Amino acid sequence: MREQNPQIQIEYKNRINKTFDYIEKNISKQFSLEELADVANFSKYHFHRIFFGMVRETPFQFINRIRLEKATMMMCANPRDSISDIAFKLGFTDISIFSRNFKAYFGKSASEYRKEKLKKSNLSQEDSKSSQPENKSLMYFCESTNSLKWRTNMKLNKSVEVKELQEMNVAYVRHIGPYQGNDKLFQQLWNKLFAWAGPRGLIGGPDFKSLIIYHDDPNLCEGDKLRTSVCITVPEKTAVDGEIGKMKVEGGKYVIARFEVGSEEFGLAWDWVYAQWLPESGYQPDDKPCFEMYPEEPKDGKFTVDICVGIKPL
């Protein structure tokens, strides 16, 4: 049996990643197989089989799953939006198609799912407020930065601020599969990205940022399908190849919550942002991807991390 060429495998992975990025950026539109094959630079006659072989889903199974998982997040984050509006925003052309697909995937109707999640979220908030009064936050206006900030007694939290972020061009290495608690995996991904960026003079500078983007909700997506991108900011015209991809991170209004955490405490920080800060803030999450930014190197096993969530008024 002939061995596969590693360079060919890397090129195929790169092209599939480009397809992922294109689908996410245009999730509301209707895709054709020819269009997606063109993005991946494969013949339409072979693209379907290649995509399935690498992703273990057909292109349209992947699109349907991503839309349904995004729908659950939007339904809970935006309780005032109707389910039909959310379905249409995500590219479903008929509410009956959405309803049928949703029930087949989650085992219950969209309205039942939303009702259960919102009830559980409200109970969780009440329990958390009564058992953790030290996690309260106090809002104030900072004149020096002309922005809203919050004082908080949450032990891991160092600051919370709402501010406008500019669009970022980033180069990335992507991992598909489980990642939670796997420090070795992230070290390998960072090493691979920095080994590419260092010789090209792309590391450092006043505007340089490093971040990790989580494309899927680990509470919804199967572990072997979770997509994670380890990224650094790069000039817009930077050329990439092989395992290194390039995409834009949408600008806009974000809450930026800074924490100092150990590797096992990231989940606590994320949970606090969603279960504690957001319900009291007057904001709700919008459709932009959430990510972590790392303003400094880890020290003594502790990470300084900015958790960034796109937001809009409630």
Domains of the chain: 6-114 (1.10.10.60), 147-313 (3.20.80.10)
Task: Look at residues 107, 116, 40, 38 and name the one whose alpha carbon lies nearest to residue 76.
Answer: 116
What rounded mean pLDDT belongs to the chain? 88
4 pLDDT higher than 90: no
Altogether, the residues listed in the chain come to a count of: 314
Instruction: Specify the DSSP element, H or E, that contains 11.
Output: helix 6-25
Q: Which of the four pLDDT bands, split at 50, 70 and 90, describes residue 311?
A: very high
What is the rounded distance in angstroms from the CA atom of residue 231 to the CA atom of residue 247? Answer: 9
Q: What is the number of other CB atoms lying within 10 angstroms of the CB of residue 22?
A: 17
The residue that leads in pLDDT, 123 or 19, is: 19
**260 forms bridges with which residues in the sheet?**
304
Angle between helices 6-25 and 33-40 (to 10 degrees): 130
pLDDT at 146: 66
DSSP 8-state assignment for residue 56: S
281 pLDDT higher than 60: yes
Give this prediction's pTM.
Answer: 0.82
Q: Which of the four pLDDT bands, split at 50, 70 and 90, describes residue 120?
A: confident
Q: pLDDT tens digit string along 60-89? A: 999 999 999 999 988 988 888 899 999 999
Q: pLDDT tens digit string along 136-164? A: 667 666 666 666 777 787 889 899 999 99
pLDDT at 131: 46
Q: What's the average model confidence in pLDDT over 48-58?
A: 93
Cα(first)–Cα(last) distance of the chain, in Å? 59
Q: What's the average model confidence in pLDDT over 102-128?
A: 81
What is the rounded distance in angstroms from the CA atom of residue 275 to the CA atom of residue 59? Answer: 34
What angle (nearest 5°) sits at the alpha carbon of residue 304, between those of residues 298 and 308? 135
Q: Which of the four pLDDT bands, split at 50, 70 and 90, describes residue 233?
A: very high
Q: What's the average model confidence in pLDDT over 189-193?
A: 95
Q: Which of the four pLDDT bands, split at 50, 70 and 90, describes residue 3?
A: low
pLDDT at 297: 86
134 pLDDT higher than 80: no
Q: What is the β-pairing status of strands 227-233 and 210-214?
A: antiparallel
